[in-house]
Structure formats: C-alpha cells, structure tokens
Structure 1
Amino acid sequence: MKSRVAVVKTTPETVLDDIDRALELAHVNRFLQKNVPTILKINISWHFWYPACSTTPWQLDGVTAALSRRGYKNLIPAQNRTVVINPKLGAENLHLNSVMEKHGLKFVHLYEPDVEWITYKPKANMLVLDKVYEKQGIQIPKMFIGKNAFHLPTLKTHVFTTMTGAMKNAFGGLLNDNRHWTHSVIHETLVDLLQIQKEIHPGMFCLTDGTIAGNGAGPRIMEPQIKNYLLASADSVAIDAIAAKMMGFDPMKLKFLNLAHEKGLGTARPQDIEIAGEDISTVNFHFESKDTFASKGQKAIYWGKLKPFEHVLLRSPLVPWSYIASRAFHDFFWYNIFGKTIVKKFLNTAWGKLFESYK
C-alpha cells in the first residue's frame, strides 16, 4: 500500500476545520490507537514568536480538537529544551499555553526532574547513536514508550538538513540535553531516531503547518512567506518528502530522507506517494537553505577546518562559549535589528491577527 500524504489549502477563517479534514484524508484513525495516550510533540525552535518557526496555536488547537472529536482522550503536549531555547518562555510567547488551558492539557517539559530518562537499547542496528553515546548509552524519556506520537512541525528550511519537518521534530523529544553532539552526523541521527520511534510508539502521525512557510537560514532566521498549506500523514518520511518537493528540493537528494527510504522506514520518492486533496504537481516555492554567521561557524566545527577541535569546543568546560555566542547573535542582535520588523509586518496579516486572538 502506498504511503498517503494529505495536502489541504486553508485560510485563517477555516483552518481548524481544514486541519480536521487533513487528518481525515490521511486516515488518522487507522494509524493511532485510541486505547493509549498520545504525545503531542510540540516544536519550539525559538522562544520568541517568529512566523514559520514553531508550532502554531491554531495547529495545536486544531489537532487537539480533531483528535478529541475522534475519541482520543489522553493527549500530552511535550517538548524538551535546548542549550539556547527556553521552552517555557516559548510556550507563553507562542500562545500555546492558552490553547492547552482551553483543552485542559498539561505541558510536559521533558527536562524537568520528575521526567524519568532511561537507557534504551534499540532492537535495530543504529547508524551512529550507539557510537555518539557509547559511554552513557542512548537516553530517552520513559514516558514515551507505549504511547502514540503526533508531531507538530512547521514547513521550513534548516541550515543543517536543508529542510526540517516530522523526522527532525523527534530530535527535540527523544534526545536529552547533549543532542548537539549528534550535529556532525545529523542525517544518520534522524534515521536512527525514526527507527527508535517505530520500536517504542504503537502509532505515529504528523500535521505539518505550512500556513506560513520559512525560506532561508532556518529554523529561525528565515524569510516567512504565506503559503496556506497543511500536510498530514502517518509516514514521517513521506510527509517530509512532499514538503521538500513543494519547497523546491529533490527529496531523494536529501541524505536523511534517502537513507530512511533505503532502510525501508518510509517513502521518500514522490512518485511512489499518494497525494490526497490538492493537486501539487506544479507547486514549487523555489526555497533555498542558506547560512548565517552562526551556522557557518558550526559547520566549520562539524565538517570543516575546526573539526579536530570539536570535542574541545563542544564537549568540554569551554562549551558555554557557543551558547553565549548563539544567544547573542540570534536573541539580542538579529531579532532586535531585523526580526521585530518582520514580526510587526506579519501581525498585520490575517494569520497574524489569528495568532493574536490566542492571547
């Protein structure tokens, strides 16, 4: 049976109904069990609101309502922190807290002391994770085991993986604070994480928000563009492949998608994927993945001239320098000089007004 990806056009006025339709077209009931809890894997790529960057309030609202309507009762929003992102601040600034309050949901911050992390030994052979975490083992949240996983990414580019979506969204949940250790082998890491997800989750699904899509040096410093699309699928590889194709990339040339396809973890070849809903045969956003000053430095450490110093720079007492540099560039320089102007512009759009309505 072909992997199916639902693609639905939407508007700010109809987005909640359109999310419901996207889930129906992608046969959500066939892939998520109703007798187990469902993790709603939030994506907070920045603790400021910036269009296309993070899970949107209408995305969380629409998915929660659609699942509840179908009899899914125990829904658990969850997200981990990163060394440069504060998810509690993000949940407030992104107006996600108001959605959770509306639906009676409790946000689980995976880095809190009451969340137990365990050493997990995958049944499948890993490409890299067993080597990266050779000393401490692969650590995952115990609470994820036996629960459905529902991913809530946005449609955007990424400086390391060209584009990001369902597969990359697992990165912010399944791996702990030291997940930046995997950046030099990020493509293989995403494939390993997908393999682990298939072992621990009885069902998986994704709703990618492409209402506002991000072009350029994602996942943060992007040029947001209103595209009015929603994508849904139970196949993380297929939904990312179609998102990549719509952005103008060849999915089979993206290493993490090609690897996942070859390992049989999903379908990345667009001609082998069934599209339900919109005809996207001529859709091409002509997006490009670009670099920032910060990402150029990171790439030099992971793959360039500074590679011999990776352990010293990123796995030693010197490591705080990189966090400080990233926060200084993104939060204090770029957001204040450029980001606020873009945010102000988008708050005047229909999507911006919808965002503000979730305050």
Structure 2
Amino acid sequence: MSEVAVQKTTPNTVLEDYSNLMRSIDYQQYLPKDKKTIIKLNLSWSLYFPACSTEPWQLEAVLKTMREDGYEDIVAMENKTVVTKPMKGAKQNKWLPILEKYDVEFVPLTDVKWVDYKPESEMLAMYKVFPDGFKIPEPFIGANVLHLPTQKTHGHTTMTGALKNAFGGLLRERRHHSHKYIHEVLVDLLTIQKEIHTGIFAVMDGTVCGDGAGPRTMIPEIKNYILASGDQVAIDAISSKMMGFDPLSIDQIQLADGKGLGTGDVSKIEVVGEDISDVNYHFSTGESLVIQGDKLFRKGPLSFVEPLLFHTPLFKLPIMASAGYHDYFWYPLVGKKRVKEFMNTEWGQLFQKYE
C-alpha cells in the first residue's frame, strides 16, 4: 500500500516538522545516498507570489534534513519557460541564500546538455506533441529526483503537484505545446521518470495554498499542512482530496493509476500522521485569461489557428500577451495587494526573515 505522510505545522516549527514528516515514511529508502539527488524546484512565476513556487522554508527544511542524514551529492535545478527565468525566480523566491547555506549548486536547466531519449515503454501522447522525438536533460539520467511542488489549483490540470512538477524538468521551454494533451503527457513523463531515475520522492508544501485561477493568479489560503511521499500519484491524490476534489476525476491521476504507475484511489493509500478524513479546503479551479486563450486556440473553436499562432514567429505575440498580462497588469492591480495581505500573516513574516 502506498504511503503519504501528512503533518500540521507552524512557522515556528516548520523546519523540524518537515524533518519529522520525511523521516516518518523513511524517505531515505526512496533516494539512494550513493547517487546524485536532483532537487527539482517549482518555479511557476519569476516574481514571488504565495503558494506559486517552492517556498523558502520548504527548500531549507528539505536540504537541512538531507544534510543531517548524510546526503552529500545534491544539486538544485529548474527550467525556464517562455515567460519565466530561472535566475530571476531563484532570487525573487529567496532560494539562492538557502542553497549557499547548505552548499548546494543551483543549475538552470538551460545550462545543461539535453540528449535524445527514446522511452522503453509505450507513450500516450509524447509523440503526438513531438513526432520527431524529444530530448531530456542528461544529468537526470541515473540520478535521484526530489520534487518540491506546492499545493495549488491549475487551470489546465485542475490541481498541480508532483506529477506536474516533472513537466518543468523533462521538457524544454516550449513544453507549452503539450497543453493540448497535458494529462497524457504528465503520465508519459512519470513513465519516463521511472525509467531514468534511481529514486523518486516528493515533498509538498501546503502551508499556504493557492485557490482559484492557478498556477499564478490565485487566492492564497493558509492551511498549515505539509505532505511527502515516494508515490507521485498518491501524493497528488491525497492533495487533491484535501483541496476538495475527487482524485480519480482528475485525468492525469486516473490515467496514471490505471497504468499502475502509482495509487490514485485514496482508499488504497495509507496516510501517515494527521487524520485528514474530514479535511476539505473547498477549492475550485478557475482559469486566467491566458489559460482561457490557450485552450481556445489549442483545442477550442479557434483551434484551426493553432499551427499559425503557435508554430510560427507569430508565437511571440501570445508570449508577449502572457508576460504583459501577468507581470504588468494582474500583478500590479491584483497580485500586489494579495502579497501585501499575505506578508501580514505569520507565514509572510517568516518569508521576510529570509535574506
């Protein structure tokens, strides 16, 4: 039976609580110490917004725990998208001083070698998106991966967690072309992870969660939970249940469960730690204007425009529209106010204590 550890936490005890969480399900059994461990960060926005990207206390707690437990070969990695930049995100989200403190190098995936990869297993959609084949980061092959997602909604996938975090690691910046088959691609990526990684683990932060039109234009909600598991499907299933969704109604969870890649049926998952039987955040997934537009042109009534709009130099237009909407319209008009309100909470005060 798959295990998912769930624990309540506070800003004053969060580092210790994360250590207890990880050790409660013996995380070391999933991450062999004689292999390099890649900390796959989650950068959904270069700017800081609560619950959007890996939180600094989440990163520090994981690195502190691993160093205490004798892990020596650790590297942190994150990719860019057409609208995010790894180094800017690392600074805005306060990762760099933490990585320096624990002597962990930050390597943008734009700086590593990417190699052709042909999966051994059958793919559901990868070859529909990349008919001529695709590349993956060479350092990922033969290494452990530890995902650091946050608990939030997502306009393309209902919720986002461990499964979606691989999307930002194994595909290059033009991975947005996968949105048309996003659920199937996420399952394919989990299949690939099981082929190339020596160990897989996820630690999810739900101290402050994102509700609504995720993964960026959200309403931050403080919930004070943290989660961990060696089963990427199970941790997403439990997280989605806590948010108020039926896990098996979410396509990527249902598909992954059906392929035997993990457990999506919560009745078959052992929750270690907290009793979450009555937990329900009552979250609902919305869609930002950018995601509405993406769906409209990729698989909606205007999908006939997709080849011209997304596969020619005209693609610069939706890139500019997305960056302009998020960074120069929504964030100044709506996001800044929500960030300011968050900074008045205990978790916001903890964020400000980081360098």
Q: Which category of TM-score, normalised to the shorter sequence, fits these structures? A: over 0.9
Q: How does 1:255-294 map to 2 (within 5 A)?
A: 255-294=251-290
Q: Is 1:217 equivalent to 2:213 in the alignment?
A: yes
Deviation at 1:32, TM superposition (A): 0.9
Deviation at 1:140, TM superposition (A): 0.2
Quote the residue 1:21 is aligned against: 20
Residue segments in structure 1 that go unaligned for 5+ positions in a row: none
1:200-255 Cα offsets, whole Å, 9 max, x none, are 00100000000000000000000000000000000000000000000000000000
Quote the residue 1:111 is aligned against: 110
TM-score by length of 2: 0.99
RMSD, aligned α-carbons: 0.7
> What is the alpha-carbon distance in structure 2 between the residues aligned to residue 109 and residue 294 of structure 1?
25
Q: Is 1:131 equivalent to 2:125 in the alignment?
A: no
> What is the alpha-carbon distance in structure 2 between the residues aligned to residue 295 and residue 168 of structure 1?
16
Residue segments in structure 2 that go unaligned for 5+ positions in a row: none
Local SS of the residue matching 2:105: coil
1:186-208 Cα offsets, whole Å, 9 max, x none, are 00000000000000001000000
Local SS of the residue matching 1:54: coil
Quote the residue 1:97 is aligned against: 96
Q: How does 1:1-359 map to 2 (within 5 A)?
A: 2-112=1-111, 115-135=112-132, 137-359=133-355
1:4-58 Cα offsets, whole Å, 9 max, x none, are 0000000000000010011011220111101001000000101111001000111
> What is the alpha-carbon distance in structure 2 between the residues aligned to residue 182 and residue 247 of structure 1?
25
Deviation at 1:160, TM superposition (A): 0.3
> What is the alpha-carbon distance in structure 2 between the residues aligned to residue 153 and residue 13 of structure 1?
21
Matching residue's letter, 2:37: T
Local SS of the residue matching 2:314: coil
Local SS of the residue matching 1:84: coil
1:99-143 Cα offsets, whole Å, 9 max, x none, are 01111111010012xx110000100000111231112x1210001
1:269-322 Cα offsets, whole Å, 9 max, x none, are 000000000000000000000012221111111221111121211111110001
Does the 8 Å CA contact 2:214/2:288 hold for their aligned counterparts? no
Local SS of the residue matching 1:107: strand
TM-score by length of 1: 0.98
Local SS of the residue matching 2:287: coil
